[in-house]
Chain A
Amino acid sequence: MTTRRDVLALAALGVVAGAVRPAKAAAPSGQVTYGVHITLAPTWLDPAETAGIITPFMVMYALHDAVAKPMPQGNPSPSLAESWSAGEDGLSYEFVLRKDAKFHNGDPVTADDVKFSFERYRGAAHGLLKERVASVETPDPQRVVFKLKNPWPDFITFYTVASGAGWIVPRKYVEKVGDDGFKKAPIGAGPYKFVSFTPGIELVLEAFEGYWRKTPSVKRIVLRVIPDESTRLAALKNGEVDIAYSIRAELAEELRRTPGLTLRPTVGSAPYFMYFPEQWDPKSPWYDQRARLAAKYALDYNTINKALTLGYSHITGSVIPENFEFYEKLAPPVYDPDKAKQLLADAGHAGGFDAGFYTCDAAYANLGEAVVNYLGEIGIRAKLRPLERAAFFKGYADKKFKNIIQAASGAFGNAATRLEEFAVKGGNYAYGSYPEIDELFPLQAVELDHAKRAAILAKMQHLLDDRTMYVPIWQLAFISGVGPRVDNSGFGLIKNYVYTAPYEDITLKGV
């Protein structure tokens, strides 16, 4: 079957990746200091508590390693496992671990550690994984076999990409020090070992020369929290940090203009979109698809992109991230205010209409402001309502919002997992659904033939577009800055990963 062929091809890639391991590199030297935009949490030091967001991976890529994970070679790419294969019946997956992988304390990475890490995992998607995995067997120290209760085509996606379940901790050490002790002095199998952590302030790591893939070039990595964006940029200009995460809008322009500094935009996995939760209510103006189409044609996407993210965000026609498996490329939206006004008039709103609230996460109110202005230009009069992040997501998930919602999702997965959440009946963020889309969803969930499954998911994405269920806006660019000492920053090496990784590939100039 195609699925297994793909899996075997990836496995072969892993063997090749392992085979091209370079000769022993020079001893690591120098230091790279990061200006980090968010508060470092101790939970990020322990893969067992990985939330379904990208930020913990900023630490995990340094300190820990996974059976397989997104890497420059592919997503996922073999890491601690040199290969894997699926059983003919789709009910088992066998991973073969590499022999030269070690933890920072010198213990080898074994199948027992993989089993322990999986069973201990309590982060994102743990319920789903534990519900569908019948058992984990370790026939020998180098082999791990996951037995599933039923065929599950997305097992590899969830185990290696959409969760932290495949990131490995040393069983003996964790059992010795306990969960709290592990967070205070974590030991992993990644390219950098733990030196010190001041909660909320700074994490210091040092190169692990026994890392299987390669010896890191940089001796010391310091992740320093600088909450204020202007201060982060000042620290980068002043040479206090070498890499500053998240510099936006006018400050990004300032960064671009500063000699010696390099702007590094990376497009993540979070498409932003407008959603009309009342599109199933005949009394709502959004019930008429022409009104939703008018909103789609009303936005000058390129101008907004240039103003807010210097043109680096990707204008997209889909709510599925372009790097996701089963992503179907749809035509990006175009700006046509005349057509938008005509559509509104055809829908019986020649003079426009009061659209109520435009509710969004306050962190992205700048995008909301621009969209509301453009909607106003064609007569759709909306009031911006930015909400604090947690309140926004709670209200969104509890289906409390009306009128227009601006949202995004950075959750991992593939097109199927995203559609399940946002477009299919019963989804966490689906305020309604269309029967033709709902009918297709269970068909793809049991389809083991990759091509046939892809075709069903592509059809679902086209239907989403045909119904104008969403108005996708852009796949947001995350803009960071790199100082003059850094040679290879690691930005963009892993597709759609917004931070620097793999850390062992980062180099300093003249070192």
Chain B
Amino acid sequence: MKQFITRRLGYSLLSLLVLSLTIFFFVRVTGDPAALLVEPGASEDDIAAIHQKFGLDKPLWVQYGLFMASLLRGDFGQSFYYQTPVFELYLDRLPNSLLLALVAMAFSLLVGIPSGILAAVRVGRFWDSAGKLFALLGLSLPSFFVGLVLILVFSVYLGWLPSSGSGTPLHVIMPAFALGWYFAAAHMRLTRSSMLEVLGSEYVKLARLKGLPQSWVIGKHAFKNALIPVMTLAGINLVLMINVAVVVETVFAWPGVGRLLYEGISFRDFPVVQGVVIMGGTMIVVVNLLVDLVYAVIDPRIRLEK
């Protein structure tokens, strides 16, 4: 087990290293941030002063070394645009993103799991077709479109909900729906396929042969096992909802991490983009690591695999 944990930790650190390299170099492909921090036609001296101020005049490998050294000290750097520590900005926005993500996740699970079970149990019939249609719409309707339709109906026509911002429980309803809509469809599809797989397994057949009631077979035997991949996906999706809900947070002017990422990209604010991506990546790696460890505890075959 110790060896397994060491190996998994090693993979996780390697993933983060690759991520840091990728985002560091990718973000620099977008262009020179100085061009966005000076007025059009600014002198070469002004641009050079900005390069010097932010350390952009140093060779790339030196910049990367400094970035990694700061990162290891827990310092994500200073935002070019906001001139504030990135970690401070991130922490300011994180509670809003957590709230939005948790509500959206609750919505997506409450809708996605029951509809997935229903579609699997009634496979090939009306509820299955309705579920497939729901999944199709959920995965294909862009969230900005869903968001704008929601604003039009519930804010402009009905006047029930605020169109943008945060601060009250009413503010979170529409962005959570727009964000959760896509994930509800994804969870529905996975629940359906997972349930179909489990429902066809030997032990479920045995349970039925034993004459157990249908609700007992589905609830006690099938659902519990079908839920494992859904919850694994939900964990990863929660991290995505927290960190990259860029479109929904922008449409609803929701002050979260996704909007911070959007602002970072718009202003070529390298430290902000790097910080948000590294934080998101770290969360995903940690969730994956925990899932791996839990699997290893449950199933000894996993930890014995080379």
Contact = CB atoms under 8 A, between A and B. Distances in A.
Contact of B250 (A198, A228, A390, A396): A228
A421 interface: yes
B41 A397 contact: yes
Interface in A369-416: 389-391, 393-394, 396-397, 409, 411
A42 B89 CA distance: 13
B145 to A, nearest CB: 11
B82 A42 contact: yes
Contact of B159 (A43, A230, A238, A411): A238
A411 B163 contact: no
A228 B251 contact: yes
Interface residues of A, number: 42
A428 B39 CA distance: 12
B92 A198 contact: yes
Interface string A38-80: 0101110000000111000000000000000000000000000
B39 A238 contact: no
Nearest to A241: B164
Contact of A51 (B38, B82, B252): B38
B250 A227 contact: yes
A39 B163 contact: no
A37 B164 CA distance: 13
A127 B163 contact: no
Interface in B1-56: 31-32, 35-43, 45-46
A199 B163 contact: no
Contacts of B82: 41-42, 199-200
Contact of B156 (A183, A198, A238, A397): A238
Given A393-B40, A411-B39, A240 B255 contact: no
B83 A200 contact: no
Contacts of B251: 228, 230-231
Contacts of B37: 51
B280 interface: no
A234 B164 contact: yes
Contact of B151 (A198, A231, A396): A231
A235 B83 contact: no
B253 A228 contact: yes
A281 interface: no
A127 B43 contact: yes
B92, B151, B162, B268 — most chain A CB neighbours (10 Å): B151
Nearest to B260: A200
Given A227-B253, A234-B152, A411-B40, A41 B81 contact: yes
Contacts of B159: 238
A224 interface: yes
B155 interface: yes
A39 B253 CA distance: 11
B70 interface: no
B41 A240 contact: no
Interface string B272-303: 00000000000000000000000000000000
Interface residues of B, number: 42
B263 interface: yes
A394 B35 contact: yes
Contacts of A41: 81-82
Contact of A201 (B42, B255, B267): B255
Given A200-B82, A238-B159, A230 B151 contact: yes
Nearest to A407: B40
A180 B84 CA distance: 9
Contacts of A409: 40-41
Given A227-B253, A231-B163, A238-B156, A200 B259 contact: yes
Interface string B75-114: 0000101111000010010000000000000000000000
Contacts of B263: 39, 200
B41 A231 contact: no
B142 interface: no
A53 B22 CA distance: 34
A184 to B, nearest CB: 9
A226 interface: yes
Contacts of A232: 164
A145 to B, nearest CB: 28
A42 B267 CA distance: 14
A225 interface: yes
B148 interface: yes
A124 interface: yes
A429 interface: yes
B232 interface: no
Nearest to A230: B148
Interface string A309-326: 000000000000000000
A183 B83 contact: yes
Given A199-B89, A227-B250, A42 B164 contact: no
B164 A39 contact: no
Contacts of A237: 155-156
A231 to B, nearest CB: 5
B214 interface: no
A321 to B, nearest CB: 15
Interface of B: 31-32, 35-43, 45-46, 79, 81-84, 89, 92, 148, 151-152, 155-156, 159, 162-165, 250-253, 255, 259-260, 262-263, 266-268
29 contacts: A39-B263, A42-B83, A51-B37, A52-B39, A127-B43, A127-B46, A180-B83, A198-B255, A199-B82, A199-B89, A200-B259, A200-B260, A227-B250, A227-B259, A228-B164, A230-B251, A231-B148, A231-B251, A231-B252, A234-B151, A234-B155, A235-B164, A237-B156, A238-B159, A238-B162, A240-B164, A393-B35, A393-B41, A409-B41
Q: Which 7 A-B pairs have the closest CB atoms?
A: A52-B39, A428-B41, A234-B163, A393-B40, A390-B35, A226-B253, A199-B82
Interface of A: 35, 39, 41-43, 51-53, 124, 127, 180, 183, 198-202, 224-228, 230-232, 234-235, 237-238, 240, 389-391, 393-394, 396-397, 409, 411, 421, 428-429
